[in-house]
Amino acid sequence: MNEPARSCELVVLQNNYGICKFGPKEPVPAWVDDGDFWSVSRTREELSVICEEQLIPSSVHAEGGYSCLYVLGPLGLTMVGVWASLTTSLADAGISVFAISTFDTDYLLVRQEELPDAIDALRESGHVVQF
C-alpha cells in the first residue's frame, strides 16, 4: 500500500546553484563534483548539470541564481503526493520550481529572489523550513 504524503521538513542549502546545459554526447565536466550538492541527468537531447554556481565557468551555457531546498528524508519510494504537497503551494504563490529527485529524497530549486516567498508559502502549507 502506498504511504500518503505528509508535511515535510526542508533545509535551505547555503550555496547558490546554477543549471547547465550541454550536448547529449558531451562528457560530464570534471569541475562538477567539487561542490557539496550536484546532480547530472543525461537524455538523448541533452546533458543537464546542477551544481554550485561558483564552479561554473563563464563559457558554459548556464542559468544561475538558484537557491536549493532539501527535503529531509529518507522518503519512501511508495510515498505519494510529496511533490504535489510541495509544489501546489509554490504554484499558488506564482513560484517556479526546478525539481530533482534522488533515491532517498527530493530537492527544489527556486530563484534566489523568490526564496523568501517560497519559504512563506511552504510554511503556510504546513511544511517546516529551516536554515
Per the structure, how many domains does the chain have? 1
CATH for 42: 3.30.2130.10
Question: What is the model's pTM?
Answer: 0.89
Closest Cα partner for 83 from 122, 48, 42?
122
- For the stretch 70-105, pLDDT in tens is 998 877 777 777 888 899 999 999 999 999 999 999
Question: Which domain covers residue 121, as residue numbers?
Answer: 3-130
pLDDT of residue 96: 97
Q: Is the pLDDT reported for residue 116 higher than 60?
A: yes
Give the rounded percent of residues in the chain with a pLDDT score beyond 70: 95
Q: Is the pLDDT reported for residue 2 higher than 60?
A: no
What value does the mean pLDDT of the chain take? 92
3-state SS, one letter per residue, for the chain: CCEECCCCEEEECCCCEEEEEECCCCCCCHHHHHCCCCEEEECCCCEEEEEEHHHCCCCCCEEEEEEEEEECCCCCCCEECHHHHHHHHHHHCCCCCEEEECCCCEEEEEEHHHHHHHHHHHHHCCCEEEC
Q: Is the pLDDT reported for residue 21 higher than 80?
A: yes
pLDDT of residue 81: 73
**Residues 38-64: what's their mean pLDDT?**
97
pLDDT of residue 4: 44
C-alpha to C-alpha distance for 68 and 13, rounded to whole angstroms: 6
C-alpha to C-alpha distance for 21 and 113, rounded to whole angstroms: 22
